[in-house]
Amino acid sequence: MIKIGDFARLSQVTIPALRHYEDIGLLKPISVDSATGYRYYSVSQLPRLNRILALKDLGFTLQQIENVLNGGLTLDELRGMLKLKHAEVEQQLATEQTRLDRIAARLKQIEQEDGMSEFEVALKTVSPMLVASCTVTIPTNDQVSDFLGRAFAEVGNHITANDAKWVGPCGAFWHQGSEVLENEVAEAVIPIDHMIPGTASVQVYEVPATQVASVVHHGAFDSLPQMHRALHEWMEINQYQTVGSYREFYHNTQDRENSVIEVQYPVSRT
């Protein structure tokens, strides 16, 4: 018999790890001295411990390892677990490769611009969002404030009349490219807390979760063209494409020269 400290040195596993394996029933000592509490192991347990370490190295959790060793899994069940783990690791590798590509693109951008960009682009997944909206066609870009202002007022009145609450900043969904400045089709959108009836002019629906490239800027509304340009440059460098209407969210618009604006483009990897 081997004391736990000697067994730990022999197996290159820490004593706390051995105690944890004992606690969860994964590897129990062959004997525990009732007087001293000393734990004793046997060299015959090394193959089991080595299997634990091998499965752990493959990425299995201790609970999964316990199922493999103590659960009497069939060969087909074990094969299925390994195939699933293989798929998980492949996905992790793909995710990290995408991250590596973004890092390389950022380095290239810094070298080209000789500094940090004023407009940082973040890739994120936004949660589903229940909204009330009103769609308008804006003849010319200098009329955006008037048309969207009236649309927001109509949506806000409808929300209030139906005892719903705003649960986020108002925004606009634009159904053409940012370069279009005439006859722009836009939705004035307000997130709400629960489903309410719509009308002929106010639609209520859930915006599904989606991956977006996002820029948030604190400053004047005049910065919007630069924000869009930064997003398009980021998508080109990082090989993403738009997959839906771009969105603008107005977190603080009471002072047009000191606003907080977010622009989002739903994207997918090309």
Identify the pLDDT of residue 213: 95
Q: CB-based contacts of 169: which residues, under 8 Å, 6+ apart?
A: 191, 249, 250, 251, 262
Question: What distances in angstroms separate CA 36 from CA 9, 32, 33, 39, one per listed residue?
Answer: 21, 8, 6, 9
Average pLDDT in the 233-255 region? Answer: 86
Question: What is the C-alpha to C-alpha distance for residues 120 and 135, in angstroms, rounded to an integer?
Answer: 30
Strands (E), 203-256: 203-207, 210-219, 240-242, 246-252
The answer to whether 131 and 164 have CB atoms below 8 angstroms apart is no
Report which of residues 49 and 252 the model is more confident about: 49
Identify the pLDDT of residue 114: 65
Q: Is the pTM of this model over 0.85?
A: no
Partners of 210 in the beta sheet? Answer: 126
Which among 42, 5, 77, 89 has a CA at the least distance from the CA of 69?
A: 77
Residue 38 identity: Y
Q: What would the DSSP string read from start to end of 148-164?
A: HHHHHHHHHHHHHHTT-
The per-residue pLDDT for range 184-216, each reduced to its tens digit, is: 999 999 999 999 999 999 999 999 999 999 999
Q: Report residue 74 as tokens.
A: 């069939």
Q: Please report which residue ranges of 139-213 form alpha helices under DSSP H.
A: 144-161
Identify the pLDDT of residue 34: 86
The residue behind tokens 């159904």 is: 175
Which among 265, 214, 216, 213 has a CA at the least distance from the CA of 243?
A: 265
The per-residue pLDDT for range 29-86, each reduced to its tens digit, is: 999 988 888 999 999 999 999 989 999 988 888 888 888 888 767 788 888 888 988 9
- What is the helix (H) or strand (E) element at residue 55, kind and residue range? helix 46-57
Asked if pLDDT for residue 117 goes beyond 70, the answer is: no
